[in-house]
Chain A
Amino acid sequence: MGSASLFAQLDLGKRSLMAQQAGIQVAGHNVANVNNENYSRQRVDLDPQHPVKSRFGTGVDVKTVERMSDRFITGRLIGEQSRGGSLEVRANTLARLENLFNDTEGLGLRSALNNFWNAWGDLANQPESEIHRKEVINSAKGLAERFHGVAADLKNIREELNGRIAGNVEKVNQLAGQLAELNTLLQQVDRGGGEANDVRDEREGTLRELAKLVQIEWFEDDDRLINVNIGNGWPLVLGRHANHIEASFDHEEVGLFSIRGIDPKGISRDLTGLLRTGQLAELVDVRDEVVVGFMDQMDLLASELAFRVNRLHSTGTGINSPLERLRSSFALKPDARDKPLPFVRDGLFRIHLVGDGNKILETYEIEIRAGRDTIHDIVARINQAVGDPAIFQAALLPDGSVTLTAKNLNRFVLGADETDFPVVMGFNNFFENLQGAKDFRINQRLEENPNQISTGNNLKPGENSVAQAIHGLQFVPTMAEESATFDEFYNGVVADLGLRINRNQAERHSQDLVIDQFRRMRDEFSSVNMDEEVADMVQFQRGFQASAKFISTVDEMTRTVVSM
């Protein structure tokens, strides 16, 4: 026979009701989460009950609630976050740098440089002018200000990036901990026989957030727990346990963080260079390579500019140049005094002894042999050339600086030079900086006595060869192994920045499109369509009504039988 008993049919009805209810509940759950980006829609998996020992089926059963999630798309979405994070950090930093080098309002470094050259040009055309000298000082101060500003801003940016590294390290640890907790939860739910669909959604979301910060390798192990490695296979999350990373102060530069991973045994590993992509890795790269690159370029510019101007200025004379005493700007450390003086060339340099009325009384020629003469040799040779300490004397002071002193109411100026000795030691330099951009400054004696600014040679006030030469430096290739002028070099730095920004923008745009595409693929598969759910709900509602009708029909049939 095989027809089911009435009670069996009631059972069928009951199970049908429950199945429809489940369908509505799942639909309701989907609808509630329609705006949840991390949510993967769920579906009731209904299984028809197959007949056992009979011809007739016995209803439906809820097999499982399925989570619609595509592994491949999930993996790609997580993976692409890292590059996106990198590009975002880079864009922010480059935008900050762009502001620094923006000169469209005429307040930048290039304008200051222009003003400096122009001031020298005006002075060259009227070398006796005191007003133009003051203008030269003014423009030089403006230039120094700009150099300081740029150096300070770059340093600030670097420190900010450093701070953000610490912040990101915190976030990574937080997310790793979250992941471990979710793993634990998942295991509990699994063991309890439930479906951990929502936990999986949250896990996925956490992984995406983590991937934005640092490039991860992740996989699901046999217990369906997620393990995460960063760097070169260093384990960040191992199932229910999370290791942590720390921002430690043991970077070779004082005050900067390096990133170390600490495992449970307390062994720490330096991960700083190994993080590949992601916000954290990019912050390190930008802090240590990109910003430093710009700092180096600016230092190079400042140093070479100062050296070239100094070399022309130190052996020139102005309208009131003769001095009684001159002390070198630079001092030699004790161990450098016995070695040959570096950076000087073979040749002669001259000192003119000056008497009343700015007349040159006598000229002393001192020879320098590059690579052989120490500072002691040179000082001795100067004194030997003069021959009389009562007239003029050179001396090496205990602090390593050198003084030249004219005695007996005489004064002196420096004369034609082939050796670079004056500019190397810093006699009568115009700029006095040692470290490049951050300490770029004018010789204070010249600031206080602008009439001592050199414009010509040999005390001839109308002679303007020095001022002309300094003005002409604007057009001389001095940078990049004498292939680019100062302006061309600066242009290179600035244009490079602009092009990098554009390139980054393009890459970001393209990366956005890639992520977008995977998003859409994921949404297509996993996200909720309200209209679908509403239609499903209507369907399940009808099913529920029909099942209820079935039950009441069977119930009537039962009553009929009972009242037989």
Chain B
Amino acid sequence: MRVTDLTKQNAVLRNIANNAERMQTLQENMSSGRRINRLSDDPVGATQAEDIKTQLSFFDVVRRGIENNFVWLDRTESELAHMGDLLRRAKTLTLAQANANADETTRRVTAREIQAIIDGVQQAGNAKLGKLYIFSGSNTFTRPLEPSPARQPALLKLGGQPLRLELAEFEGHSPNSYIVRITQPGRLGEAKYTVSDDGGETWSEERLLSAEFEVFNERGKPSDRVVMKIREPETADPAAAVQYPEGLEFEFEPNPPLAYKGNTDRRMITTAEGVQMPINLNAAQIFFGVGREAESIDVFSLLFTLKRAMEEDDPTVLESRLDDIDLASNQVLELRADVGAVRKEMEDRLEKMGDRGFAKTRELSQIEDLDFPAAVMELNVAEVRNRAALETGARLIQPTLLNFLR
């Protein structure tokens, strides 16, 4: 084979260039510490690395969400603890005042302390974290507990059909619903009525209808002192007085002393991909037992009843309500346990995610980072090759026949 000068030159130059290219790549990798400095170094690896980075940043979002909401949970728990303390105090006071040793004076004084307890519980229920109410469901800008008006117009029904008539109103707070039904027709003072406080199952004795009377069923729940007031239209003619037909019903809607203005939405935070956990309680659950499987109780109605009983020096009521105070305490304490469980769960998730994040970071390093020892060895080999190429190249292209002719 005939080898010419050009052939030799081109071959030597090309080999030197190849070596230089290899060494440059090595230098780039070693100075950046990464195996992948541009897409073409490893296209699939590059996209895998990007995916891992995305996952790691998702973990960060979840972690931040959980950590930021620990404050919410801790606050919830401390408010519930406070409420539990207040209810315990209420029980102690009630026990003391139900005792025969107490008298009108002590009961009246204690009634004020009960009011202070009511205020404390209400305040706890309206707790705010920053500018958000924590017990209001998703209506976090709305205060959950507001006093409800004492008066409500009575709903009239005849034969099941509602009547649009403004005839009577109720005054007072009660968690019960009452039905006042005319049993014997007639005018005021003639007609007779009964009361039901359980939706029509049990009825009270018949009583004479008057313009104002206390609504309660002596065969049913204790009275909440709700009063019904009838206002007949003004007329001078006695013959035009209202005739109350039999079967006419006046309905009283539950009207707890403090009403819940929030909603029952859960506050959800992300704890994993596609997984969300609720972290909130709302005032309806705490104070009215909404959603509770066991028997529920209206805490405020109970406290107001206790206060009124003390003001009116009525120890029997106090005695009868002691069990209800226990019920209220349990209602609060069980929710407190739930909150504790949620917090523990979130701590576990956080830890698990930390482990996963660590594993992913290791995976990322394996894809992206340069294996330094291997690279150093490769660099040494490349250096040797480079030297050899340069040396042999020099030796190849230099001597010609001219060196040897005389």
Contacts and interface: CB of A to CB of B under 8 A. Distances in A.
B46 interface: yes
B140 A494 contact: no
A462 B39 contact: no
Interface stretch (B53-61, B162-170, B283-291, B326-334): B53-61
A14 B131 CA distance: 118
B68 A118 contact: no
A103 B14 CA distance: 33
A456 B37 CA distance: 42
Contact of A501 (B7, B40, B139, B276): B40
B7 A530 contact: no
A473 B162 CA distance: 50
Contacts, number: 163
Interface stretch (A293-301, A378-386, A430-438, A531-539): A531-539
B46 A494 contact: yes
A497 B44 CA distance: 11
B47 to A, nearest CB: 4
Interface in A69-115: 98-99, 101-104, 110-111, 114-115
A501 B41 CA distance: 9
Contacts of A496: 43
A464 B3 CA distance: 79
Contact of A121 (B43, B137, B270): B270
Contacts of B401: 530-531, 534-535
B39 to A, nearest CB: 4
Interface in B1-60: 1-7, 10, 14, 34, 36-40, 42-44, 46-47, 50-51, 53-54, 57-58, 60
Contacts of A99: 38
Nearest to A113: B54
A528 interface: yes
Given A494-B43, A497-B39, A461 B57 contact: no
B65 interface: yes
Interface stretch (A170-178, A227-235, A516-524, A549-557): A516-524
A111 B265 CA distance: 34
B40 A529 contact: no
B274 A475 contact: yes
Interface stretch (A16-24, A124-132, A344-352, A393-401): A124-132
A208 B26 CA distance: 35
Given A491-B51, A495-B44, A527 B7 contact: yes
Contact of B39 (A114, A460, A487, A498): A498
A532 to B, nearest CB: 8
B141 A461 contact: yes
B326 to A, nearest CB: 33
Given A505-B40, A524-B3, A103 B137 contact: no
Contact of B139 (A122, A461, A468): A461
Interface residues of B, number: 54
A35 interface: yes
Contacts of A502: 40, 43
Contacts of B47: 491, 494-495
B140 A103 contact: no
A525 interface: yes
Contacts of B341: none
A1 interface: no
B61 A122 contact: yes
B76 to A, nearest CB: 14
Contacts of A520: 7
A159 interface: no
B268 A102 contact: no
Contact of A98 (B39, B60, B131, B141): B39
Nearest to B368: A104
Contacts of A491: 47, 50-51
Contacts of B61: 117-118, 121-122, 125, 471
Contacts of B50: 103, 110, 487, 491, 494
B4, B136, B270: residue with the most chain A Cβ atoms closer than 10 Å: B4
B132 interface: yes
Contacts of A487: 50-51, 54
Interface residues of A, number: 59
A102 B4 CA distance: 45
A463 B54 contact: no
Contact of A125 (B38, B64, B136): B64
Given A128-B141, A319-B141, A494-B43, A460 B2 contact: no
A471 B275 CA distance: 12
B235 interface: no
Contacts of B14: 516
A34 interface: yes
Interface string B290-313: 000000000000000000000000
Contacts of B276: 468
A122 B46 contact: no
A318 to B, nearest CB: 12
B138 interface: yes
Contacts of A528: 4-6
Contacts of A117: 54, 57-58, 61
B6 A37 contact: yes
B4 A534 contact: no
Contacts of A126: 65, 68-69
Contact of A35 (B6, B263, B269): B6
A531 B398 CA distance: 12
A472 interface: yes
Contacts of B7: 520, 523-524, 527
Nearest to B46: A498
A126 B46 CA distance: 33
A499 interface: yes
Contacts of A523: 4, 6-7, 10
A304 B401 CA distance: 73
B267 interface: yes
B405 interface: yes
Contact of A104 (B37, B65, B132): B37
A499 B131 CA distance: 53
B138 A462 contact: yes
A534 B405 CA distance: 9
A519 B10 contact: yes
A462 B264 CA distance: 11
A408 B38 CA distance: 61
A55 B269 CA distance: 116
Nearest to A502: B40
B234 interface: no
B37 A462 contact: no
A126 B279 CA distance: 12
A459 B257 CA distance: 27
B43 A104 contact: no
A115 B46 CA distance: 19
B240 interface: no
A319 B142 CA distance: 12
A128 B131 contact: yes
Nearest to A505: B40
B270 A124 contact: yes
A471 B270 contact: yes
A460 B53 CA distance: 34
B236 interface: no
Interface string A449-463: 000000010001111
B138 A463 contact: yes
A122 B39 contact: no
A102 B38 contact: yes
23 contacts: A104-B36, A114-B57, A115-B57, A121-B62, A122-B64, A124-B270, A125-B64, A125-B68, A125-B269, A128-B131, A319-B141, A460-B138, A462-B139, A462-B267, A472-B274, A498-B40, A498-B46, A499-B44, A501-B40, A502-B43, A516-B14, A523-B10, A529-B4
Given A34-B6, A462-B137, A524-B2, 8 more contacts: A118-B60, A461-B140, A474-B54, A495-B44, A498-B44, A501-B40, A501-B43, A528-B4
7 smallest beta-carbon distances between A and B, as pairs: A498-B43, A125-B65, A121-B61, A462-B138, A462-B140, A498-B39, A501-B40
